Amino acid sequence: AQSVAQPEDQVNVAEGNPLTVKCTYSVSGNPYLFWYVQYPNRGLQFLLKYITGDNLVKGSYGFEAEFNKSQTSFHLKKPSALVSDSALYFCAVRDGNNAGNMLTFGGGTRLMVKP
Amino acid sequence: DTEVTQTPKHLVMGMTNKKSLKCEQHMGHRAMYWYKQKAKKPPELMFVYSYEKLSINESVPSRFSPECPNSSLLNLHLHALQPEDSALYLCASSQGVWQGRDEAFFGQGTRLTVV
């Protein structure tokens, strides 16, 4: 079985401050990890993914995430938040060793960036 | 073209109506998906088509009927829906289903209201 936990329903940060959105996962095989963002009444947009290689992954809009195997985490980060980053963020995992496993999403974290 | 296009954007239907949701992609992706998303919740997988064949049905009620006329199109036929079926219906596509490494591209969704 595979699962994802996003422990915070909402994260509040001031514009210009660094932001972190937390994600931990559980898979039996190799984790393929993804971050998506969703703006109101829109579909999900892909931000970044970790498949293999460098633990620090850089993605769209200045976001990055760090894969930590020992802590089974894949936290999303950005050095300086923008008001326009306010949205719903989903972490997702797939077991890379199990062909046919579909993506499992976390419950989502609402990011609020205040001016 | 990196878009997944869904029509209509909004749909209101009665419980005795028959309607269809449409999804189109021209990225050459061979896997297409239907998801259902309730407010402030993660997307829930409904169906997966791989190479135009239905490969996964996540125990979805028969009042939802998917169809994949060709590799670029995906439909979701709706009949005798219930008010609790009101949700955002998302279509997505990816390069392949079984490769596991590919991110999914999502359409902006159809907001369905059943009255």
pLDDT for B56: 87
pLDDT for B99: 57
pLDDT for A97: 80
Spatial separation of the C-alpha atoms in residues A34 and A51, rounded to whole Å: 9
In this predicted structure, the answer to whether residue B97 has a pLDDT above a threshold of 90 is: no
The nearest alpha carbon in chain A to B91 belongs to: A43
Find the mean pLDDT for residues B52-56: 91
Span A2-41, pLDDT tens digits: 899 999 999 999 999 999 999 999 999 889 999 999 998 8
pLDDT for B2: 66
Q: Which of B43, B100, B109 sits opposite A42 (nearest CB)?
A: B109
B60 — contact with chain A (CB < 8 Å)? Answer: no
pLDDT for B45: 93
In this predicted structure, the answer to whether residue B96 has a pLDDT above a threshold of 90 is: no
Q: Which of A44, A45, A94 sits opposite B43 (nearest CB)?
A: A44
Q: Which amino acid is at A69?
A: K
In this predicted structure, the answer to whether residue B98 has a pLDDT above a threshold of 80 is: no
CB contact under 8 A, A44 and B88: no
pLDDT for A115: 95
DSSP A82: -
Spatial separation of the C-alpha atoms in residues B81 and B13, rounded to whole Å: 8
SS3 of chain B: helix, strand, coil, percent, to 5: 5, 55, 40
pLDDT for B102: 86
From residue B91, give the alpha-carbon distance in Å to each of B14, B59, B66, B115.
Answer: 22, 18, 11, 23
Q: Which of A34, A99, A105 sits opposite B43 (nearest CB)?
A: A105
How many Cα atoms sit within 13 Å of B45 on the Cβ side? 17
B 26-55 → A contacts, CB under 8 A:
40-43, 45, 48
pLDDT above 90 as % of chain B = 83
A103 — contact with chain B (CB < 8 Å)? Answer: yes
pLDDT for A96: 82
